[in-house]
C-alpha cells in the first residue's frame, strides 16, 4: 500500500510538471522565438561584414570577420595608455571608489561588495586611460561620444523622473477628488506616442511660434532656438522626456505608497513627526523596493531613447544629441551596415545589463 | 463591374440559402432576410468602396495632401499635384487599385531599404537620381528598358540628363520625373528698397565681396536679413557650400578619395559664416522657420529648391502674406564657373515585381506612363520637365516665373555617384552645422568631414 502511495505521489508530481509545462510552453515559445532567437541572431550578425541590402539580394554576400566590428567601434590606431587620459571620467571613478569605502566604513557595504565595486572601478579607470596617441585616430570617432551622450541623457532623465514622480506620488496619495483629477492629469502625458510628444515640444521650443519664445519676447528678451543651440538641445530632449515619462513612475510609487501600513504613519504622527521626517524615516525606507524597480525600469527604457533625438534634433547640433539607438538605426537602415549596427546593439545590451546589475547590487546591499 | 460583383455576391448568398432543408423554411426565411441585408449592405457600401482591381502599392515622399481629388489642373504644390495624378490614374483604371503607403520624408529611404530587406517593397516608388548606384549595383530595381515603348513611354523624348539619371550599366531602371535644383527666391520689395533692382530684375552678386556689399545694403535700407535658408535641419546649407565648391572647380571627392579639406571649401564656408557674423542671415533657422521668415518679408532672399515656386507664387498673391512681389532667380555665380546643386526625382519598380508578379508590373508601368504623360502638370510645381516635347511647349514656357530661372538646367550639378550618398550628405550636414551652430573651427570641421567621408568611400 505504501508502494502504491509512492507511485501515486510520483505520478502526481509528473502530472503537475506536465501541467506546468503545458501552461509554460506558449510563453517559452514566444520568449524563444521573439527574444532569445533574435538576440542570438543579432550576435551572429555582429560577427559578420553584413550589408543589409546586399545580403537581401545575395545571401552569400556576407563575410565572417570575428570580432572586427567590435574592434572598429571600440578601438583606433596608435592607441596608447595614459594614467589620466580622461581626467573628468577617471576623477568620477576615484570619487565613486571613495564613496564605496565610506559606505564600507559606516557599515552599509559588505567587504565582498566593496572589493567588487573597487575592482570594477579600477577596470573602468584602466579603460578610460586608452586613447589614440599622436597621429592616431578612432576607427569610428562618433561611437564613444554617442555612448557618452546616451549615458549623460540617462544620468539626467532617470534621477529627475524618479525624484519628481516620487514627490508627485507622495503629494497625490490622498483620497480627494482634486488628487484623483491631478493623478489622471499627470498620467495623461504617458499615453501619448513619442511622435505626438515631440511635436508638442517642438512647438513649445520653436524660436518663432513657441510658447517659451513668446514668454521671453513678452519680457523683451531674444528667444533661443533651443533645438539648434549647443547645450540647450540635450536639455530640451531631457525636459520633453521627463514630462512624458513621469506618469508610469508616479503610478508605481502610488502603488508602493499604498502598501505602507497605515499604522506606521499614524505612529509617526503620534510621535509628532513632521511631514519631512515622516517622508524621510517612514516613506522612503518602505519604498526602497519600488525605487529600485522604478530606477531599473527607467534605466533600461531610457538607454533605448530614440524618437526624441531623431524627431526633435536629428541628433544635432554637431552630434550633441546623437544617441546609441539612433546611431544603430542609421548604421543599419541608412548605411545598410547591419554587422556594425548589431555589434552596437549587443554593446547597448551589455551596458544596460551592467547598469541594472549595479543598481540591483546597491539596493540588495541596502536591504541587508 | 462593381454592380456585377455585388450581384454575384447576392446570388452566392441565395444559393447557400437554397441549399438548406425545405422543412426548415422558417429558419431559411430568417436567413434569407439576413443574407439579403448583408448583400444590401455590401451593395450600398460598394458605392463608396474603391474598385476591386489588382492592388499596386506606391511609396513616395513629397508630403501628404488631404482631399487631393482627381482634378490635376486644380492642384497646387508637390504633394497635391502628385497625389491628384495618382488618384486620376486610379479613377480611370478599374483594373488597378493604387494604394499610396504612408511614408515620411525624413525616414523615407530607411523605410524603403527596410521594406526591400523584408522582401516587401512597394510595387512602385519614387527615388532620387543619387540613389540609383546603391540600388542598381545589387540588382534591386527592374530593368524597364525593353518595356517602356510598349507602354507609351518614349525614352528618346527625355532630355539627355534625364536619361542619364535613370540609366545604370546602360539599362534604364526608372522613369524620370524632373530635374530639381537650388534657386534664389527673391523678395523684390526688399531688393527694391535696397536699390538692388534693375529693369525689373534683382541685381544678384557676382563675387563673394559683392554679396557682402548687397547684404549690407539690404540691412541698412530695410533692417531685414539679406538671406535665409534652412541652416539647421536638412541639407540646404550643404547644397549652398557644394555650389560654391563647384563654382571654384572643386568637389568633395573624386576617384574614391575625399577632397574636402581644401582652400576652396574654406572659401565657401567663410563666405557663409561671414553672413552669420555680419548678422545678414540667421544660422538657427530650420526649413519651416526659414520659409516662414521669407514669406513674412524678413529676408530678401531665400535659398530653396524648385519645388516651392508655385507655392510661393500662390502665397505672394495672398493679401494676408507679407511677401507680395516675388521673383525667382538662378543660383548666382560668385566664383569662376556657374553651378547649382541639382538632382532628379524618378520612379522605379522593384525587380521582384517584374519577376514574380506580371499583373502588378503591368499596372505599375501603366501608372508610370500616366505620370510621364502628366510631366507638364508636375512641372507646375517649379521643377524642370524631363520631356523635350514638354520643354519646348508654349504651355511650359508660360508657367509662372519659368523664364526667370531658365538657365538653372544648364548649370545643374551634383556630387559624383556613390552608393554612400546619403551617409556622405549627413556627414557634411553635421560638420557644416557644427561650424555655424556650435562654433567648431572650419579647419577642424573640414578635417573631420574629410576623414569621415573617406571612411565611407573605403567601405
Residues of A in contact with B420 (CB under 8 A): 335
With CA atoms as reference, report the closest residue to B151 among B351, B381, B349, B384: B349
- The dihedral built from the CA positions of residue A346, A351, A352 and A356, taken in this order, carries a sign that is positive
Q: Name the stretches of chain B with pLDDT < 50.
A: 1-35, 37-51
In terms of DSSP bridges, do strands B124-128 and B54-59 run parallel, antiparallel, or are they unpaired? parallel
Name which of A56, A141, A314 is nearest B117 (Cβ-Cβ).
Answer: A56
Q: Comparing C-alpha atoms, which of B297, B296, B292, B320 is closest to residue B308?
A: B292
Looking at the structure, tell me whether residues B307 and B375 fall in a common domain.
no
- Does any domain span residue B237? yes
Per residue in B297-316, pLDDT tens?
999 999 999 999 999 999 99
B392 plus B428 within the same structural domain = no
pLDDT at res. A246:
93
Write out residues 18-37 of A within 8 Å (CB-CB) of B: none
Residue among B134, B233, B459 whose CB faces A314 most closely: B233
**Cα of B290 vs its chain's centroid, Å:** 19
Instruction: Name every chain A residue with its beta carbon within 8 A of the beta carbon of B140.
Output: 53, 57
Residue-level length of chain B: 459
Distance CA A180, CA A170 (A): 13
Of A144, A140, A192, whose CA–CA distance to A323 is shortest?
A: A144
In a shared domain, residues B398 and B416: no
Q: Is residue B61 part of a domain?
A: no
* Range list of H helices, A173-282: 177-188, 194-205, 211-218, 233-258, 262-270, 275-278
Q: What ipTM goes with this model? A: 0.81
Nearest CA in chain B to A225: B284
Contacts A225 to B, Cβ<8 Å: 232, 284-285
In chain B, the number of structural domains is 3
In this complex, which of A53, A58, A137 lies closest to B113 when CB atoms are compared? A53
Q: Which residue of B has its CA nearest to A54?
A: B138
Phi then psi for residue A337, to 5 deg, are -85, 75
Among B110, B117, B127, B424, pick the best mutation site for testing chain A contact (most A Cβ within 10 A): B117
What does the pLDDT look like over A266-288, one tens digit per residue?
A: 888 888 888 888 888 888 999 98
Inter-chain touch A52–B433, beta carbons under 8 Å: no
Cβ contact, residue pair B440, A54, below 8 Å: no
Given an 8 Å threshold on Cβ–Cβ distance, is B437 in contact with A208? Answer: no
Q: Assess if residue B104 is contained within a domain.
A: yes
Task: Kindly state whether residues B189 and B291 are assigned to the same domain.
Answer: yes
Mean pLDDT of chain A: 90
Helix H or strand E encompassing A69: helix A68-74
Same domain, residue pair B164 and B224: no
Same domain, B364 and B387: yes
CB pair distance less than 8 Å for A230 and B437: yes
Q: Are strands B299-305 and B180-187 parallel, antiparallel or unpaired?
A: antiparallel
Which range marks the domain in which residue B18 is found?
2-43
d(CA A313, nearest CA chain B) in Å: 8
B308 and B442 fall within a common domain: yes
State whether B438 and A317 contact (CB < 8 Å). Answer: yes
Classify domain A143-367 at the CATH superfamily level.
MetI-like (1.10.3720.10)
Alpha carbon of residue A199 to chain centroid: 23
pLDDT of A359? 76
Least Cα separation, residue B455 to chain A (angstroms): 9
Residue B289 lies in a domain: yes
Q: Report CA-CA distances (Å) from B123 to A175, B55, B126, B148, B253.
A: 58, 9, 11, 17, 34
Which positions in chain B touch A140 (Cβ < 8 Å)? 455
- Per run of 10 residues, the mean pLDDT along chain A (length 368 residues) is 74 87 94 95 96 92 95 94 89 92 88 89 92 90 94 96 94 90 91 93 86 88 86 95 94 92 86 86 89 90 95 90 96 93 96 83 67
Domain of B112, CATH number, reads: 3.40.190.10
Asked if residue B201 and residue B334 are part of one domain, the reply reads: yes
A193 and B CB contact within 8 Å:
no
Strand partners, A123: none
Looking at the DSSP bridge assignments, the partners of residue B225 are B299
pLDDT of residue B29: 45
Closest approach of A128 to chain B, Cα-based (Å) = 23
The residue of chain A nearest to residue B288, with distances taken between CA atoms, is: A208
Closest approach of A336 to chain B, Cα-based (Å) = 8
- Minimum CA–CA partner of B282 in chain A: A225
Cβ contact A141–B448 (<8 Å): yes
CB contact under 8 Å between B110 and A58, yes or no, is: no
Beta-bridged to residue B74, according to DSSP, are none
Amino acid at each position: 500500500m505504501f508502494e502504491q502511495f509512492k507511485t501515486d505521489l510520483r505520478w502526481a508530481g509528473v502530472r503537475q510538471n506536465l501541467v506546468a509545462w503545458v501552461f509554460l510552453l506558449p510563453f517559452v515559445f514566444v520568449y524563444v522565438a521573439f527574444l532569445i532567437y533574435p538576440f542570438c541572431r543579432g550576435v551572429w550578425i555582429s560577427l559578420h561584414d553584413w550589408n543589409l541590402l546586399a545580403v537581401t539580394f545575395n545571401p552569400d554576400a556576407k563575410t565572417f570577420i570575428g570580432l572586427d566590428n567590435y574592434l572598429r567601434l571600440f578601438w583606433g590606431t596608435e592607441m596608447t595608455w595614459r594614467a589620466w587620459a580622461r581626467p573628468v571620467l577617471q576623477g568620477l571613478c576615484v570619487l565613486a571608489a571613495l564613496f564605496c569605502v565610506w559606505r564600507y566604513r559606516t557599515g552599509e557595504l559588505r567587504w565582498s561588495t566593496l572589493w567588487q565595486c573597487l575592482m570594477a572601478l579600477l577596470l573602468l579607470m584602466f579603460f578610460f586611460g586608452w586613447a589614440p596617441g599622436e597621429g592616431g585616430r578612432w576607427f569610428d570617432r562618433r561611437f564613444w561620444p554617442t555612448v557618452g551622450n546616451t549615458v549623460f541623457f540617462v544620468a539626467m532623465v532617470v534621477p529627475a523622473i524618479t525624484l519628481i514622480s516620487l514627490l508627485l506620488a507622495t503629494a497625490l496619495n490622498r483620497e480627494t477628488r482634486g488628487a484623483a483629477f491631478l493623478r489622471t492629469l499627470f498620467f495623461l502625458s504617458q499615453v501619448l506616442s513619442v511622435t505626438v510628444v515631440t511635436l508638442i515640444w517642438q512647438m513649445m521650443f520653436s524660436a518663432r511660434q513657441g510658447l517659451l519664445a513668446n514668454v521671453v519676447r513678452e519680457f523683451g528678451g531674444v528667444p533661443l532656438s533651443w533645438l539648434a543651440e549647443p547645450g540647450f538641445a540635450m536639455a530640451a530632449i531631457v525636459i520633453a522626456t521627463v514630462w512624458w515619462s513621469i506618469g508610469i513612475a508616479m503610478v508605481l510609487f502610488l502603488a508602493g505608497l499604498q502598501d505602507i501600513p497605515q499604522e506606521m504613519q499614524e505612529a509617526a504622527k503620534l510621535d509628532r513627526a513632521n511631514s519631512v521626517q515622516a517622508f524621510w524615516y517612514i516613506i522612503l525606507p518602505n519604498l526602497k523596493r519600488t525605487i529600485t524597480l522604478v530606477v531599473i525600469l527607467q534605466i533600461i527604457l531610457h538607454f533605448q531613447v530614440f524618437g526624441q533625438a531623431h524627431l526633435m534634433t536629428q541628433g544635432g547640433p554637431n552630434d550633441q544629441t546623437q544617441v546609441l539607438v539612433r546611431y544603430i538605426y542609421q548604421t543599419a537602415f541608412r548605411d545598410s551596415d547591419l554587422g556594425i549596427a548589431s555589434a552596437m546593439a549587443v554593446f547597448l545590451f551589455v551596458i544596460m545589463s551592467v547598469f541594472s546589475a549595479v543598481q540591483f547590487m546597491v539596493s540588495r546591499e541596502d536591504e541587508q | 463591374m462593381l454592380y456585377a460583383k455585388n450581384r454575384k455576391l447576392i446570388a452566392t448568398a441565395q444559393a447557400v440559402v437554397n441549399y438548406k432543408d425545405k422543412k426548415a423554411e422558417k429558419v431559411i426565411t430568417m436567413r434569407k432576410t439576413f443574407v439579403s441585408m448583408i448583400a444590401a449592405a455590401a451593395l450600398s457600401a460598394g458605392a463608396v468602396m474603391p474598385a476591386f482591381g489588382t492592388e499596386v502599392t506606391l511609396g513616395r515622399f513629397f508630403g501628404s495632401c488631404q482631399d487631393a481629388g482627381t482634378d490635376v489642373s486644380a492642384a497646387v504644390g508637390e504633394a497635391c499635384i502628385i497625389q491628384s495624378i495618382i488618384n486620376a490614374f486610379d479613377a480611370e483604371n478599374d483594373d488597378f487599385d493604387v494604394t499610396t503607403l504612408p511614408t515620411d520624408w525624413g525616414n523615407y529611404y530607411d523605410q524603403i531599404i527596410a521594406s526591400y530587406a523584408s522582401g516587401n517593397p512597394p510595387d512602385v516608388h519614387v527615388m532620387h537620381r543619387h540613389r540609383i548606384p546603391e540600388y542598381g549595383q545589387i540588382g534591386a530595381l527592374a530593368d524597364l528598358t525593353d518595356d517602356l515603348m510598349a507602354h507609351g513611354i518614349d525614352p528618346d523624348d527625355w532630355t539627355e540628363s534625364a536619361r542619364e539619371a535613370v540609366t545604370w550599366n546602360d539599362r534604364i531602371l526608372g522613369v524620370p520625373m524632373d530635374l530639381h535644383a537650388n534657386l534664389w527666391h527673391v523678395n523684390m520689395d526688399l531688393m527694391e528698397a535696397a536699390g538692388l533692382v534693375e529693369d525689373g530684375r534683382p541685381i544678384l552678386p557676382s563675387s563673394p565681396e559683392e554679396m557682402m556689399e548687397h547684404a549690407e545694403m539690404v540691412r541698412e535700407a530695410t533692417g531685414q536679413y539679406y538671406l535665409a535658408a534652412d541652416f539647421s535641419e536638412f541639407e540646404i546649407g550643404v547644397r549652398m557650400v557644394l555650389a560654391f565648391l563647384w563654382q571654384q572647380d572643386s568637389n568633395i571627392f573624386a576617384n574614391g578619395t575625399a577632397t574636402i579639406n581644401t582652400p576652396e571649401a574654406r572659401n565657401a564656408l567663410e563666405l557663409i559664416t561671414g553672413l552669420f557674423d555680419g548678422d545678414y542671415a540667421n544660422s538657427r533657422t530650420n526649413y519651416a522657420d526659414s520659409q516662414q521668415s521669407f514669406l513674412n518679408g524678413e529676408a530678401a532672399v531665400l535659398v530653396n529648391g524648385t519645388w516651392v515656386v508655385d507655392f510661393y507664387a500662390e502665397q505672394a498673391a495672398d493679401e494676408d502674406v507679407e511677401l507680395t512681389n516675388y521673383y525667382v532667380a538662378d543660383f548666382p555665380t560668385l566664383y569662376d564657373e556657374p553651378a547649382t546643386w541639382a538632382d532628379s526625382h524618378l520612379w522605379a519598380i522593384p525587380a521582384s515585381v517584374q519577376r514574380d508578379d506580371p499583373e502588378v508590373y503591368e499596372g505599375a508601368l501603366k501608372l508610370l506612363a500616366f505620370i510621364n504623360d502628366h510631366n507638364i502638370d508636375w512641372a507646375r510645381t517649379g521643377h524642370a520637365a524631363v520631356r523635350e516635347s514638354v520643354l519646348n511647349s508654349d504651355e511650359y514656357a508660360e508657367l509662372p516665373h519659368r523664364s526667370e530661372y531658365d538657365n538653372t538646367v544648364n548649370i545643374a550639378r551634383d556630387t559624383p555617384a556613390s552608393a554612400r550618398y546619403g551617409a556622405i550628405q549627413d556627414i557634411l550636414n553635421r560638420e557644416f552645422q557644427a561650424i555655424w551652430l556650435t562654433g567648431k573651427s572650419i579647419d577642424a570641421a573640414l578635417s573631420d568631414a574629410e576623414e569621415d567621408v573617406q571612411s565611407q568611400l573605403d567601405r
